[in-house]
Structure 1
Amino acid sequence: MAAADFVFKVIVVGDSGVGKTNLLLRYTQSEFDLNHASTLGVELSRVEQHIDGDHVMVDFWDTAGQERFKSLNKVYFRGAHGVILVYDITNKHSFEQLKSWYKVAKDNGCDPVKCVYMMIGNKNDLEDLRAVDSSEGVVFARTINANFFETSALSSDNVENAMNDLIEEIHRQNKSGLSMQNEDTVQLKEGREIKSKSGCCSKE
């Protein structure tokens, strides 16, 4: 197997039960396990892609969501290139907790300037039980300079779009960063898009 041109580390955080593990299971293996037990500690999964001619390897770190494990998660943020903040659209508390998860990530080395953030509102197949409006997700995503998607790990809706968007953004930033090391000029970072379930986008 040829060595990867880029190896990225992505941390997935959020409260217990929001569907972090099944999001990764859907993306990496096209599977969904309704009876999957809550993650204890951390579980790793890997995907490989070719982007713009580069062989890219991404390691996803699926962390435990229970409050009592937050202190244990801190070590896992070291060296991360991306962070996915996940909440359940039927659970308002899980959405409100994103501020805390974002602070944990920032306080442990995930500077938003260097680390790409993605926000996911999962379980959009349960629209009748929705407790968090899409517009609320967009507003919070804007405040942390994150792209936003609503997904369903159960139906697979938007899962691949969200994950690919994150990987491509991480690759773009890291590749341009390598290029700029050999340049005398500094280029301004271009605006990023906030994506909603409807596919509408708004520039920040």
Structure 2
Amino acid sequence: MALYNEEEKSDDYLFKIVLIGDSAVGKSNLLARYARDEFYPNSKSTIGVEFQSQKMDIDGKEVKAQIWDTAGQERFRAVTSAYYRGAVGALLVYDISRRQTFDSIHRWLNELHTHSDMNVVIILVGNKSDLKDVREVSIAEGKALAEEEGLFFMETSALDSSNVTAAFQTVVKEIYNILSRKVMISQEYNNQDVPLVGSGKTLAFKEQGDEDSSVEQKKGCCSS
């Protein structure tokens, strides 16, 4: 699930995360705000794919998130689909002030699952929460869709920074938690000299009683 960087110490992890969603929902500005604390009011549409790397410290280990910003325009879809492969996390973004971007969520989910691991950690992000006066998608609708699909959910604003860091960190920390649980289970079985049976079993993305009040997710969404 994680890629190790051989040039660095063995406890470093590299996670590939993709930003997906319709054009002009604010994916590039979310990444710019998170990676560089910048915002570009007149930013142009992404051409193809761009990426940034960010480091986080989790449980004393250095975790690197390689975040890929994919173009939302239809003409780039054939090119960007290849970049989903190997992704272990995704921010699926829509614009709360444009209903059509919310209506596209299922199409993006289908594309993501077609080209990536079905166990990818996904957070549904309703961006541009600062545009409350022209809101077309309610918070309740976003939560309901996230619960239906078993996703995390959060509303953000790249303009005023609301929840931007939290959205990215939610995905990275959950990937790390899943990986840590798998490693722990594997070590427990190895210490008992018992083969790891059912190692391909999908682990739940969230344990019971471990919900964060700022993040919505359907319980048991991904347990098999």
State the TM-score, normalizing by the size of structure 1.
Answer: 0.90
35, 38, 44: which one aligns with 1:37 = 44
Mapped partners of 2:218, 2:169: distance in 1: 19
* Larger strand share, 1 or 2: 1
Report if the CA contact (8 A) 1:123-1:151 is conserved. Answer: yes
119, 127, 144: which one aligns with 1:139 = 144
18, 21, 38: which one aligns with 1:14 = 21
Aligned residue for 2:167?
Answer: 162
Instruction: Choose 1 or 2 for highest CA Rg.
Output: 2
RMSD across aligned positions (CA): 2.1
Pairing 1:94-173 to 2, within 5 Å after superposition: 94-111=101-118, 114-173=119-178
Quote the sequence identity (%): 38
In structure 1, list runs of 5 or more residues that go unmatched: none
87, 92, 100: which one aligns with 1:85 = 92
Mapped partners of 1:70, 1:118: distance in 2: 21
Tell me by how many angstroms 1:202 deviates: 6.8
1:113-145 deviation digits (Å, cap 9, x = unpaired):
x21011100000000000001111001111221
Count of aligned residue pairs for this structure pair: 199
Report if the CA contact (8 A) 2:147-2:216 is conserved. Answer: no
Mapped partners of 1:144, 1:203: distance in 2: 8
Mapped partners of 2:217, 2:147: distance in 1: 10
1:77-117 deviation digits (Å, cap 9, x = unpaired):
11111011000000000001010000000111230xx2101
Report if the CA contact (8 A) 1:32-1:153 is conserved. Answer: yes
In structure 2, list runs of 5 or more residues that go unmatched: 1-6, 190-195, 220-224
Distance 1:161-1:26 versus aligned 2 partners, 3 A rule: same
Report if the CA contact (8 A) 1:142-1:194 is conserved. Answer: no
Tell me by how many angstroms 1:37 deviates: 1.1
What amino acid is the match of 2:41? L
Mapped partners of 1:172, 1:48: distance in 2: 16
State the TM-score, normalizing by the size of structure 2.
Answer: 0.82
Mapped partners of 2:13, 2:156: distance in 1: 27
